[in-house]
Amino acid sequence: MTAIPQTNTVYEGGFADPVWASQTVFRALMDAMARPGSVQALSDVTVPPAPLSASASALIATLADADTPVWLDAALTKVSAVKDWIVFHTGAPVVSNPSDAAFALVAAPQNLSALNGFSLGTQEFPDRSTTIILQVSTLSDGAPLTLEGPGIKGQARVAPDPLPQHFENQWRANRAAFPRGVDLILAAPGCVAALPRSTRLVSREA
Amino acid sequence: MNAPVTNEVSQNLATYNFAYLDEQTKRMIRRAILKGIAVPGYQVPFASREMPMPYGWGTGGVQVTAAIIGSEDVLKVIDQGADDTTNAVSIRAFFAKTAGVATTTATPDATIIQTRHRIPETPLTAGQVLVYQVPIPEPLRFLEPRETETRKMHALEEYGLMHVKLYEDIARNGHIATTYAYPVKVEGRYVMDPSPTPKFDNPKMHQSEALQLFGAGREKRIYAIPPHTEVVSLDFEDHPFEIQHFDQPCAMCGAEQVYLDEVVLDDKGGRMFVCSDTHHCESRQAEGHRGALLGDDASTGKEATR
């Protein structure tokens, strides 16, 4: 397997065809969000600096712009090229306080301790919340999650890995705050899934 | 040899982006759509743009469609069920021109269906997106004109006023007289205006296979119902929700259990009832179904009422 060549400069690796690429990525994401747990194919349309992944960078390039502050986790903050790439290609301001962020990019979900440090929106404006893009290595080989809720016929299963610590408890707390809460986008190599705040986890022992 | 010349000319002309809207506007609308899907029934504010058509002609639906449409999509547009009325024809032509997409009138062939006030009779499927044009997105607006108050009412899930309105219907008329824009509760949380669709269509929103997106351009709101979502029409135990019933079939195709439009035929009280969904009616006629007034086969039709 040949590694995807990493670009030397932050000015390269954006969308070659922004209109087509962002529409394609968005439709995959919209379908993922509308059908929680379903895995949607995502082609590599961006070449970001490591450790930012191709799918996470395509999503942030599709969604973020000058109106949407972006927060980066420690693994991404360590590499200044990641921040520079995002700023150059999207124009989004990078913020250090997670509760200020419209989008959060997380390269090491296992080190993410709390979902409630992000903005949950308000009861009047639940849309003013952070959407968290988690870079995961798989959507099928991790510990399986059983999902219920809007967009799901009966139950759905997805098995992402890695996930934040104590994820099931954290997600229950997030669901309990509904309509406030964060939405998760799971960006795996070549595919994407989503857990909107409306999705409920079914206990494994049940 | 003429291609380079054409390119040169078109490069010098002011032009617009694919599907008319610029990319930043599409991003803003796309973010609103994702929030709408995540909080089903909640009206997400968005920075609605001026479109090359007046408010009231479906600018909200057009903006939603423009933000999601791709070159592979096949678009159908209906206005009160009809593919061939002014609003439907002009919006279909708008996207054929600005996005170069294929258009259709056949419900099963479409990937995106933009609608003004009807849901097609043909059941929608998993790959389809239904985009509603919404005039007044706030179901509580005629009960409480202040946005600050209605927003608080949604926040606190305070929907008693809506039930009072339905109760007053019963007190005055003996039954719930609301026939269109009949309020629904989405996933047990948000009371939502289904746009002025006849209440006949409300049951189709419940557990739909298709994603349903709602755009209100003048009021600057986007909301959504994901597939397989619980959509319950508000009612009372002793006055359960009922859809309209028609005591005769479609005069053109003989269809029953569909929504019919009344057409006045003369000044002597003559009238006919025909399918509001023109594609449904035409495809049934093509299959050989005959209504009473189609003229070429009276065997299946009943006598038209005068």
The tens digit of pLDDT for each residue in A58-105 reads: 999 999 999 999 999 999 999 999 999 999 999 999 999 999 999 999
B23 and B124 housed in the same domain: yes
Residue linked to tokens 């994603």: B211
Identify the closest residue of chain B to A103 by CA–CA distance: B31
Residue A12 pLDDT exceeds 50: yes
Question: pLDDT at position B10, please?
Answer: 55
Contact B75, B95 (CB under 8 A): yes
Under an 8 A CB cutoff, do A35 and B226 touch?
yes
Instruction: Specify the 3-state DSSP secondary structure of A63.
Output: helix
Question: pLDDT at position B296, please?
Answer: 60
Question: pLDDT at position B9, please?
Answer: 52
Identify the CATH number of the domain in which residue B52 sits.
3.40.50.11310
Of B23, B32, B211, the CB nearest to A22: B23
B177 and B258 housed in the same domain: no
Residue B46 is assigned to a structural domain of this protein? yes
Question: pLDDT at position A45, please?
Answer: 92
B22 and B156 housed in the same domain: yes
Q: State the amino acid at position B105 in one-letter form.
A: T
Residue B239 is assigned to a structural domain of this protein? no
B165 and B138 housed in the same domain: yes
Dihedral, CA atoms, B12, B18, B24, B27, nearest 10 degrees? Answer: -170
Question: pLDDT at position B16, please?
Answer: 86
B94 and B151 housed in the same domain: yes
Closest CA to B210 of A153, A155, A37: A153
B183 and B47 housed in the same domain: yes
Confidence of residue A113 (pLDDT cuts 50, 70, 90): confident
Question: pLDDT at position B15, please?
Answer: 80
**How near does any CA of chain B get to the CA of A202, in Å?**
17
Closest CA to A151 of B210, B98, B215: B210
Closest CA to A53 of A86, A8, A21: A86
Of B24, B38, B154, the CB nearest to A198: B38
How are the residues of chain B apportioned to helix, strand and coil, as percentages rounded to the nearest 5?
30, 20, 50
Residue B135 is assigned to a structural domain of this protein? yes
Residue B142 is assigned to a structural domain of this protein? yes
Under an 8 A CB cutoff, do A127 and B226 touch?
no
B13 and B103 housed in the same domain: yes
Of A19, A122, A149, the CB nearest to B23: A19
Residue B181 is assigned to a structural domain of this protein? yes
What pLDDT, in 10s, does the model give residues B282-305? 999 999 999 888 766 544 444 444
Residue B240 is assigned to a structural domain of this protein? no
- Contacts of residue A33, defined as CB under 8 A and 6 or more positions apart, other chains included, come to A151, A183, A185, A194, A196, B34, B37, B38, B226
Under an 8 A CB cutoff, do B30 and A30 touch?
yes
Under an 8 A CB cutoff, do A30 and B24 touch?
no
Q: What are the residue numbers of the active site of B?
A: 41, 250, 253, 275, 281
With residue B24 as reference, give the H or E element that holds it. Answer: helix B23-38
Residue B42 burial (C-beta neighbours within 10 Å; 0-12, 13-18, 19+): buried
Residue A5 pLDDT exceeds 90: no
Question: pLDDT at position B305, please?
Answer: 41
* CA A45 to centroid of chain Cα atoms: 16
**Which residues span the domain enclosing B111?**
3-233
Higher-confidence residue: A9 or B221?
Answer: B221
pTM for the model stands at: 0.92
Residues of chain A whose C-beta is under 8 A from some C-beta in B?
Answer: 18-20, 22-24, 26-27, 29-31, 33-35, 62-65, 67-68, 102, 122-127, 129, 131, 149-153, 178-179, 183, 196-198
Q: Which of B233, B255, B284 is the last residue of a domain?
A: B233
Under an 8 A CB cutoff, do B33 and A27 touch?
no
Residue A29 pLDDT exceeds 50: yes
Contact B122, B108 (CB under 8 A): yes
Contact B40, B224 (CB under 8 A): yes
Residue B238 is assigned to a structural domain of this protein? no
Q: Does the domain formed by A18-202 have CATH 3.60.15.10?
A: no
B60 and B150 housed in the same domain: yes
Which phi and psi (to 5°) does residue B91 adopt? -70, -40
Residue B47 is assigned to a structural domain of this protein? yes
The total number of structural domains in chain B stands at 2
B98 and B220 housed in the same domain: yes
First to last CA, chain A: 41
Q: Cβ atoms within 10 A of the Cβ of B262, count?
A: 9
From residue A111, give the alpha-carbon distance in Å to each of A114, A136, B23, B267: 9, 12, 34, 77
- Contacts of residue A131, defined as CB under 8 A and 6 or more positions apart, other chains included, come to A63, A102, A103, A104, A182, A183, A184, A185, B34
B177 and B125 housed in the same domain: yes
pLDDT tens string for chain B (306 positions)?
Answer: 344 444 455 565 668 899 999 999 999 999 999 999 999 999 999 999 999 999 989 999 999 999 999 999 999 999 999 999 999 999 999 999 999 999 999 999 999 999 999 999 999 999 999 999 999 999 999 999 999 999 999 999 999 999 999 999 999 999 999 999 999 999 999 999 999 999 999 999 999 999 999 999 999 999 999 999 999 999 999 999 999 999 999 999 999 999 999 999 999 989 999 999 999 999 999 999 998 887 665 444 444 443
Contact B179, B198 (CB under 8 A): yes
Q: How far apart are CA A10 and CA B13, in angstroms?
A: 33
**ipTM given for this complex:** 0.94
Under an 8 A CB cutoff, do B70 and A20 touch?
yes
Contact B183, B25 (CB under 8 A): no
B125 and B65 housed in the same domain: yes
B126 and B227 housed in the same domain: yes
Residues of chain B whose C-beta is under 8 A from some C-beta in A?
Answer: 17-18, 23-24, 26-28, 30-40, 42, 44-45, 67-71, 151-152, 154-156, 187, 189-190, 211, 224-230
Question: pLDDT at position B5, please?
Answer: 42
